[in-house]
Amino acid sequence: MGTSSATDPVEEHRMPLMEHLRELRSRLIVCLWALLITVVGSFFFANDIFVILAAPMNDALVVTGRGTMAITQAMEGFMVQMKVAGLSGFFLASPVLFWQAWRFVGPGLYDQEKKMVLPLVGASTFLFISGAVFCYFALFQYGFPMFLEMNIEGVQAVLSIDAYLSMVTNLLLAFGISFQLPIVVYFLARLGLVDHIDMIKGFRYSVVGIFVVAGILTPTPDVMSQTIMAAPLLLLYGVGIVVARVFSTKKREVVAAPAA
C-alpha cells in the first residue's frame, strides 16, 4: 500500500458524492428486488417453515408437559405467516445482499483486495447461515426444555406464536451476525489495526467480552445458554487469530538483541 496518490488505483477510481449515491441506489434496488422475490416465494411455504421453527419448542412442551403454543389475537396467525416469509426471504436473499454490499465497497479496494471479494461474500454467507443453523440445533434443541423446566411449579405456559417468532428471529439473527467475527478481524487486520499478537494478548479480555455479549443476546441469563453461544464464538476467535496472522499489515518494530 505504499503507492503514491498520483498512481494510486483507488484514487484513480474515486467517485464524487452524487456518483456514490447513484451507485448505492442501484445496489439497494437489486437488494430490494431480491428480497421481494424471496419473501413472496417464501410466503407460499410460510406455514411449513413455521412448523420447522416451532418444532424445538413444541417438542420441549411435550417433553416437559408445561403448556402449549396459541394464537392470542385474531390476526396473529396471518401476521406470523408474513413475518416468517420475511425472515425466510432475508436468509434466502443473503448471498445477494452480501454480494451487493461487497460490490459497493469494491471501488475503494486495491486490486489484490478486489480478488478477495468473492471469497469474502462466500465466507460471509456461510458464517451467517452457520450461525443460524447452530442456534437452531444447539440453543433451541437443548435450551428450550431447560427454560421451561425453570418455570414456576404448577404454572402452565401459553406461548403466543407471535412472541415466540420474535424471540426466534432475534436469536437467529444475533447468532448469524456474531458469526461474522472472522470477517471483522480480516478488515481490522488489513487496516493494520490488529495482528495475531494483539489477539493472543487480548484473549483473556475477549473471553470476558464474549460471555458478556452471550449473556445479553440469550433470552435467559443462565450459564448453559451463555456457554452454548460463547463456545462457537471462542472457536471463531481462534480462527480470527489465524486470519490476522495471514492478512495483517501491521508493522512491528524489531527489537535488536543486546550486545554481548
Show pLDDT as tens, one digit a residue, over the chain (260 residues). 444 445 555 455 556 667 778 888 888 999 999 999 999 999 999 999 999 999 999 888 888 777 788 888 888 889 999 999 999 999 999 999 988 887 777 666 666 666 777 788 888 889 999 999 998 998 888 878 877 777 666 677 788 899 899 989 988 988 898 899 898 898 888 878 888 888 998 888 888 888 888 777 765 556 776 787 788 889 999 999 999 888 888 877 655 555 55
Same domain, 140 and 162: yes
* Among candidate residues 213, 217, 186, the one with its CA nearest the CA of residue 199: 186
Residue 4 lies in a domain: no
Same domain, 99 and 46: yes
Is the CA virtual torsion 198, 203, 209, 215 positive or negative? Answer: positive
Q: Are 158 and 43 within 8 A, CB to CB?
A: no
Same domain, 109 and 235: no
Enumerate the β-bridge partners of residue 69. Answer: 159
Give the model's pLDDT for residue 111.
Answer: 65
Same domain, 146 and 230: no
Enumerate the β-bridge partners of residue 68. Answer: 158
Give the model's pLDDT for residue 254.
Answer: 59
Same domain, 33 and 126: yes
Residue 9 lies in a domain: no
Give the model's pLDDT for residue 46.
Answer: 93
Same domain, 187 and 175: no
Same domain, 45 and 167: yes
Same domain, 91 and 207: no
DSSP H helices in 106-222: 111-114, 117-134, 144-149, 161-178, 181-190, 196-201, 203-217
Same domain, 211 and 107: no
Give the model's pLDDT for residue 12.
Answer: 52
Instruction: Tell me how far apart the alpha carbons of residues 129 and 144 are, in angstroms, rounded to a whole number.
Output: 21
End residue of a domain, out of 179, 199, 215: 179
Give the model's pLDDT for residue 101.
Answer: 85
End residue of a domain, out of 161, 179, 197: 179
End residue of a domain, out of 179, 206, 237: 179
Instruction: Tell me how far apart the alpha carbons of residues 132 and 155 are, in angstroms, rounded to a whole number.
Output: 31
DSSP H helices in 44-160: 46-64, 76-105, 111-114, 117-134, 144-149
Conformational region of residue 158, where left means phi above 0, alpha means psi within -120 to 50, and beta covers everything else = beta
Same domain, 148 and 74: yes
Same domain, 203 and 125: no
* Among candidate residues 239, 226, 224, 133, the one with its CA nearest the CA of residue 184: 239
Quickly tell me which residue has 412448523 as its cell.
51
As a 3-state breakdown, the chain gives helix, strand, coil percent values, each rounded to 5, of 75, 5, 20
Three-state DSSP state, 40: helix
Q: Could you give the number of structural domains in the chain?
A: 2
Structural domain harbouring 201: 180-249
Give the model's pLDDT for residue 3.
Answer: 47
The pTM assigned to this predicted structure is 0.79
Same domain, 69 and 194: no
